[in-house]
Amino acid sequence: MIVLQISNASEVVASKVGRFLELLTPDSIDHNAVEDQVIKKLVENLAAEGIKGEIAAVQGVDLSGDQLSLHDGLKVRKKTSF
């Protein structure tokens, strides 16, 4: 299993749509939008390589150093098979 934590979602959104529009959107929307685009590209690239599997955007998980922490309210926000 691979865990990917995106730490600069707001900066990515700002670079794509501009700083003013980024300031108008909540960080959670920025994070979800960037996660969705990363998932889309990962699925395209992995499927092109013939790799089959599932990918999920999960809320309630934190990665800090060597520790993976699960929180109450663990939720799969989006799941895609490829």
* DSSP result, the chain: ------S-HHHHHHHHH-HHHHHHS-HHHHHHHHHHHHHHHHHHHHHHTT---EEEEEEEEEEETTEEEEEEEEEEEEEEE-
pTM of the entire structure? 0.69
Backbone angles phi, psi at 53, to 5 degrees: 170, -160
* pLDDT one digit per residue (tens) for the chain, 82 residues: 888 888 787 777 667 766 665 556 566 666 788 889 899 999 999 999 999 999 999 999 989 899 999 999 899 999 999 9
